[in-house]
A and B are shown apart, each in its own frame.
Chain A
Amino acid sequence: MIRYIIDRLMGAIPTFLVIITGAFFLMRLAPGGPFDDLADLPPEVLANINQAYNLDKPLLTQYVLFMKNAVTGNLGPSFSYQDYSVSELLAIGLPVSIKLGLTALTIAVIIGAIVGILAALRKNTAFDYTIMGAAMTGVAVPNFVIAPILMLIFGIYLKILPISGWNDGALNHMVLPVTALAIPKIAIIARLMRGNMLEILRSDYIRTARAKGMRESVVITRHALKAAILPLVSYLGPAIAAIMTGSVVIEMIFGLPGVGRYFVYGAINRDYPLVMGIVVFYATAIILLNLLVDILYGVLDPRVRQEKTP
C-alpha cells in the first residue's frame, strides 16, 4: 500500500513541474506586455517599472526567480490589482470558490447518486425515462444558460432570491449559483450511476447472491451499492476540476468575488503573475485531489493496488 502511494506521489511531481514551466513560458510568449496601457509614460519610468517586476532580466533568470519564489509560496505581486500580491488575491478569492464548489459538488453527488440508482432499479419504467430525460437536458443545456434563466425566474419574476453578489456567503446568495453549478453535475452523475448499477446488477456475483435466496433489499444495499459507488469515486477527481473551471463562468454571471473572476480579468489584462499563480494553484490542487482519489480508490478496491501501476 505504501509503495502504491509513493508511486503515485512520484508521478505527480513531473506533472507539477511541467504545468508550471508550460504556463510560465506560454504567458511570456504573449504579444503585448502588462503595461501597454501606460505607453505614454516617460521611458525611464517604464524601465523602472520593468525593473521592479524583474521584466528586464533574461527570460531564464525570470523563470528561475519565479520557481524559487513559487516554492516558498510567494507568487509575486499582481500587475493589475495594485498593492495586492497574488497570494493575497488567492486568499480573498479561494474561500468563495471553495465554498461554492464544494457545496455544489456535495449536492450533486448526493442527488445524482440517489436518483441514478433509483432509475437503475426501476429500469424502463416511467420514472426511469423521466429521470434520464431530465438528466439528458441537464447535460445538453450548459450552465451559462441555466444561470440567467434561474436569475430571471427566482430573482426577477418571483423576487425571492438575490441575483448577484456574495454577501459573505449568505445562504440566499448561494442558492442560485450553487444550483446552476450543480445541475449539470447531477445530470452526469445520475447517468454514470445508472450505468454502473445496471452493469453490476447483471454480474455473476449478484446472480449468486440472488440464487442463494437473499432478500432483494439486502442484495442491493450490501452487494450492489458498494460496487456501484466505486466508479463514482474515480469520477470525483475530474469532477472537482470541472467544478472549479465551471465556476469561472458562474462567478462571472453572478458577480461573485471568487478565483475564477480574478483569472478571467487577469487573462484579459495580461497580468502574468496573477494568471500564473492561479494556474499553478489550481493545477496543484487538482493533482493533489487526483492523488487523494487514487489512494482512496486503492483503499476501497484491492484489485487496483495489486495491479502494477504504469
Chain B
Amino acid sequence: MIWTKKQRDKTQDLMQKSGDAGRSLMDDAIERFRRNKAAMGSVYVLIIITLLSVFIPMLWPHGIEDMSWEYISSPPSWGAFHLFGTDGNGRDLFVRVMYGGRVSLTIGVMTTVVALIIGVTYGTVAGYLGGRVDGFMMRIVDIMYAMPLLFLIILLVTVAGPNIYLVFLGIGAVEWLTMARIVRGQTMSVKRKEYVESAVAIGLTTPRIIRRYIVPNVIGPVIVFVTLLIPTNIIVESYLSFLGLGVQEPLTSWGLLISQGATQINTAPWLLVFPATFLAITMFCFNFIGDGLRDALDPRER
C-alpha cells in the first residue's frame, strides 16, 4: 500500500498515542470507519432520529390519536405546535411521524434480528457440516430463492391476518436466505483454520465449536449485510403497510403514513412529504453506514 506522508504521520501519531501497542485488524477497521465522514454523519443522524422517535411521542403536547377540530388537514404551522401540519382527522402529523418511526425502526431491526438468527445458525451448520447435509440445506435455500419473496410475505400475512408480530416473523423468515449464503461461504473457509482443528482435537462438541469458534469469526461480512438488510426490511414493511396488509390503525408506520399521504397528495402534500423524507433519510443513513463498514472491513476496495 502506498501511503501519503500525511497518512503515515497520522498512523505514527496514533501508534505513539496508544503506547506503541500492537493494533488489531479491528482497530484499523474502526479507525477507517471513523475517518469516513458520510458514515459517521449517518450514525449521528440515525441516533437523533431514534431518540426523537422514542421520546417525542412521550413528551409532545399532542398524542398520536388526539384530534383537534379546529385543525383539520391544516398545513404545517408553529402556532398550535403542528410542525408538520395535521391529517384529515385533525391528528398532529409530527407526533405521528415520530411514532411511525418507532414502529418502522423496530420492525426493521426486529426482522433483521430474526433473519440474523436463522441465517447465521443455518449458514454455519450447513458450512461446518459440509457434504450431503450442506448440499441438501443449500438446495432448500436455492428453492426459496426462486420464490417471489414479497408474494410469499403477502401470502403469510393474509393467512394469519394482519398482525404486527407476524409481519416481524414473515419478513425475517424470508429475508435470511442471503445471510445464510454469506455465512456458509465464510464458514467453509474458517473451518479449515488451525484453531478449529485444535478445538476438534481437544474433543469439543460440534454445537460448541460452532458457537465458540465459527460464529464469532464469520461475523464481519454479516455486520455489513445487517446494516443493508435493516433498510430493506423497513421498505418491505412499508410495502405491506402501503397495500393495507401490514401495520393497522391506530398503530402507524412510515409506510402506512406514506400510503395515507399518497391519496391526498393533491390537497395536503405535507402528509406525504414528511413521512417520506424521514424514511428516505433513514435509508440514506443505513446505506452510507453499510458502505462505510464495507470499506472499513475490506480495505482492498479503496
Cβ-based interface call for A152 (8 A)? yes
Known A142-B238, A152-B265, A267-B245; judge A23-B146 contact (CB<8 A): no
> Which of the candidate stretches A37-45, A216-224, A243-251 sits at the interface with the other chain?
A243-251
Q: Does the CB pair A249–B148 fall under 8 Å?
A: no
* B148 near A267: Cβ-Cβ < 8 Å: no
B288 partner residues in chain A, CB cutoff 8 A: 136
Size category of the A interface is: 35 or more
Question: Quick check: is B95 within 8 A (CB to CB) of the other chain?
Answer: no
Is B161 a contact of A31 with CB atoms below 8 Å? yes
Give the shortest distance, in Å, between B71 (CB) and chain A (any CB): 23
Residue A283 contacts which of B146, B262, B266, B284 (CB distance < 8 angstroms)? B146
A residues near B158, Cβ cutoff 8 Å: 27, 30, 267-268, 270, 275
Which A244-275 residues sit within 8 Å CB-CB of chain B? Answer: 244-245, 248-249, 252-253, 263-264, 267-268, 270, 275
User: Can you name the residue of chain A whose Cβ is closest to the Cβ of B263?
Assistant: A148
In the complex the two chains form, is A245's CB within 8 Å of B147's CB? no
A2 in the interface (beta carbon within 8 A): no
CB distance from B91 to the nearest CB of A (A): 20
How many interface residues does chain B have, given as a range? 35 or more
Interface status of B3 (Cβ within 8 A of chain A) = no
A144 part of interface (Cβ distance < 8 Å): yes
**Contact (Cβ within 8 A) A145 B135:** no
State whether the Cβ of B171 lies closer than 8 Å to any Cβ in chain A: no
**Stretch from A12-20, A65-73, A93-101, A225-233 at the B interface:** A12-20
Are B154 and A14 closer than 8 Å at their CB atoms? no
CA distance A267 to B243 in the complex (A): 11
A19 to B139: give the CA distance in the assembly, Å. 14
Q: In the complex, A263→B152 CA distance in Å?
A: 12
Shortest beta-carbon distance from B260 to chain A in Å = 11
Complexed CA–CA distance, A268 and B162 (Å)? 10
Are B243 and A140 neighbours in the complex by a CB distance under 8 Å?
no
Contact B148 A283 (CB under 8 A): yes
Is B40 interfacial (CB 8 A cutoff)? no
What is the bound-complex CA distance between A147 and B262, given in angstroms?
A: 9
Contact at B151–A15, with CB atoms within 8 Å?
Answer: no
- B155 within 8 Å of A by Cβ? yes
> Which of B146, B154, B258 is the most central at the interface, judged by chain A CB atoms within 10 Å of its CB?
B146
| Contact yes or no, B259 A140, CB < 8 A | no
**Closest residue to A29 on the B side, CB-wise?**
B159
Task: Judge whether B138 and A23 touch: CB under 8 Å.
Answer: no
> Please, which residues of chain B bring their CB within 8 A of the CB of A286?
146-148
Output the least CB separation between B181 and chain A (Å). 12
Q: How far is the CA of A252 from the CA of B241 in the complex (A)?
A: 13
Closest chain-B Cβ to A227's Cβ sits at a distance in Å of 18
Offer 23 A-B interface pairs, CB within 8 angstroms, sorted by A: A14-B143, A15-B142, A15-B146, A26-B156, A30-B160, A136-B287, A137-B280, A140-B280, A141-B280, A145-B280, A149-B272, A151-B265, A156-B266, A245-B148, A248-B150, A252-B243, A264-B243, A267-B154, A267-B245, A268-B245, A283-B147, A286-B148, A310-B135
Partner-A contacts on B (CB < 8 A): 135, 138-139, 142-143, 146-151, 154-156, 158-161, 231, 235, 238-239, 242-245, 258-259, 261-262, 265-266, 269, 272, 276, 279-280, 283-284, 287-288
User: Sorted from nearest, which 7 A-B pairs have the closest CB atoms?
Assistant: A140-B283, A245-B150, A148-B262, A30-B159, A267-B158, A15-B143, A145-B276
Binding site for B on A (CB under 8 A): 11-12, 14-15, 18-19, 23, 26-27, 29-31, 136-137, 139-142, 144-145, 147-149, 151-152, 156, 241, 244-245, 248-249, 252-253, 263-264, 267-268, 270, 275, 278-279, 282-283, 286-287, 290, 310
